[in-house]
Chains A and B, each alone.
Chain A
Amino acid sequence: MEAFVNVLTNPYYVQVATMMGIFLIAALGLHLITGVTGQFSFGHAAFLSIGAYSSALMTIHLHTPFILNMLAGGLMAALWGVLLGFPSLRLTGDYLGITTLGFGEIVRVVFINMKITGGAGGLGGIPRETNILIVYIVVALTIWGLYRIQNSRFGRALAAIREDEIAAESMGINPLLYKIQGFALGTFFAGISGSLFAHMMQYLNPADFGFARSFEILNYVVLGGLGSIPGAILGTAVLSLAPEFLRFVQEYRMLIYGALMVLMMIFRPHGLLGGVDFARLYKKIKNKRKSVESNNAEGI
């Protein structure tokens, strides 16, 4: 028991778990954009950085409460999501991916050049407001919110666009409008995640939000299984913990990480939980149990 408590209060484990939660929120945002709506976004880290910087600057300069700053960070990211989405979501597939990738790099370079963000030297002196409890409350709210969204009329419209945009359009769905709304929601979660990140690390640097970070988050979603919330959670858990577990191989860590990415895709091209529907699985098990019970009853 004591060992268990020690593990739970070990600052290193708490730190790893908190960071995992923070990136899980970002991954869930991307899940809505790529997994549910089927739109490529290779610039998710840019929205994290927008949320991170705007909330951090509000905390430093306006001294407003953290919860307000966090929401403002999310809304700022969503605003930029709409501004980018409006012209670029007309593009499809890879072209959209490339545009978002370009946007991500531009945002990074702009943050390096801005005075108020501290430029390439980074922004320090952000008070620590994030703790593991807040992070996991937000994670729970995000998961709950996403389940509500996905099972609503709106969520089904997004899924229809993913399956076949033209068919969805002929059913009276305005794809551009829905895609922008989905994009705004996804980037909102990225902004929230960025705010939590800023008030966790207490220091921000544009280099943390390069395209490598965007692809890392995309990895979480794709390796977990596109379109599945449990998949996004599993993917984030496995991949954000993998570098920690691979610490013993030290310099070979990234070598193994890269090779694992290739192997996982070859053996599970749809991700770890791709195509696994837990609700259906649960029902199946329940039905089986019921039929076994009724068979037993008939037997008597």
Chain B
Amino acid sequence: MFWQQFWQQLVNGVTLGSTYALIALGYTMVYGIIQLINFAHGEVYMIGAFTGLIMVTVYKVNFMVAILAAMLVCIPLAILIERVAYRPLRRSTRLAPLISALGVSIFLQTLITLIKGGPNPLAFPQVIQDTVYVLGPVRFSTVQVLILVMASLLMVFLQFTVKYTRIGKAMRATSEDYETASLMGINVNRVVSFTFAVGAALAGAGGVLVGMYFNSIHPFMGVSVGLKSFCAAVVGGIGSIPGAMLGGIFLGIAEVMGVAAGFDTYKEAIAFGFLILVLLFKPTGLLGLPIQRKV
């Protein structure tokens, strides 16, 4: 009985964790390149979820088209946010772009609340036939399978882009050393825009998948998920792409297991507890490189 429960919760944890991982990738890539905690990333994810909802309810499209549409809406949005709110501040103090990001986040939350006409949640319709697959002791729902497959596909695609394409090489060079990369003829502004675009596409897809999984979305959904995904990025080692995936899945499992073990009222604190523990013992996260102190 215990083991059956354990495996089931593990599957649920990995499902939740892979949605965190999808969003965490956006945080980690942006941080890796311009050392900015992009607090507006959670709102990009929220807008992705709303785009998906509009697509399936108003235009009655297939959920795959909805996911694609969410990605296509989020990409220009994130590029616009970077242009307007972060690029003018790239050479100023560390806190200025952070405050600017928070401003964007408040702006977008309010904007969607106004358009929607109130902060209360909207139901996400059931867009795919829900059948339950049984594999040994574990039961998968269709949405869970879809999330796991989509998340792995997107992550493999991302890993491929970063490792084997020209722009991926430019991304790695820029995150290694921004100044030197620009001296080597890399158009760093294009790399930054591209990074925001990739992160936003993943977050948009994540938004629709989470909407389908929990059947409910609201204008402030980006705050809590954004913070937790950000924790995931830091736990894994911020700036590291495999780290974000690992951290996301790790925190997803921790949260689901914690709730199953009876700490459900502490649900929102589990991710942060792990974050602090990991940072105290390994200050740069599980897969992060040590920080060098330079004089």
CB contact under 8 A between A269 and B89, given known A102-B276, A105-B227: yes
- A40 contact set on B, CB distance < 8 A: 94-95
Nearest-CB residue, chain A, relative to B230: A98
Is the pair A223, B266 in contact by a Cβ cutoff of 8 Å? no
Interface size on A, residues (CB 8 A): 46
Q: Is the CB of A98 within 8 A of B279?
A: yes
- The reply to whether B106 and A261 form a contact with Cβ atoms under 8 Å apart is yes
A261 pairs with B280, CB closer than 8 A: no
Contact with A along B143-182 (1 / 0, CB 8 A): 0000000000000000000000000000000000000000
Tell me if B105 counts as interface (CB < 8 A to partner A): yes
Docked Cα-Cα span, A257 to B283, in Å, equals: 35
CB-contacts of A215-241 with B (<8 A): 215, 218-219, 222-223, 226
Closest residue of chain B to A223 (Cβ to Cβ) is: B99
Question: Which of A110, A219, A255, A258: most chain B Cβ within 10 A?
Answer: A258
Q: Is B102 an interface residue (CB 8 A)?
A: yes
Q: Mark B72-90, 1 if CB is under 8 A from A, else 0.
A: 0000000000001100110
Contact A257 B106 (CB under 8 A): yes
Residues B103 and A226 in contact, CB atoms below 8 Å apart: no
Query: Which of A67-75, A87-95, A144-152, A290-298 is the contact stretch?
Result: A87-95
Residues of B contacting A203 in the complex (Cβ-Cβ under 8 angstroms): none
Residues from chain A with a CB closer than 8 A to the CB of B269 are: 105-106, 108-110
If A91-B283, A94-B37, A219-B102 touch, whether A262 touches B84 (CB-CB below 8 Å) is yes
Instruction: Verify B96–A255 contact, CB threshold 8 A.
Output: no
Residues of B within 8 A of A177 (CB): none
Which one, B31, B84, B110, contacts A255 given CB within 8 A?
B110
- A254 and B106 contacting across the interface, CB-CB below 8 Å: yes
Interface string of A254-276 (1 = CB under 8 A from B): 11011111100110011000000
Q: How far is the CB of A51 from chain B (nearest CB, A)?
A: 20
Please report the C-alpha to C-alpha distance between residue A257 and residue B110 in the assembled complex, in whole angstroms.
10
Tell whether, in the assembled complex, residue B96 and residue A265 are in contact, meaning their CB atoms are under 8 Å apart: yes
Some 17 contacts from A to B, beta carbons below 8 A apart, are A34-B95, A91-B283, A94-B37, A95-B234, A95-B284, A98-B234, A99-B275, A101-B227, A102-B271, A103-B276, A106-B276, A109-B266, A109-B268, A255-B110, A255-B114, A261-B99, A261-B103
Q: A-B pairs with the 8 shortest C-beta distances?
A: A261-B103, A258-B107, A102-B272, A258-B106, A269-B92, A109-B269, A262-B103, A254-B110
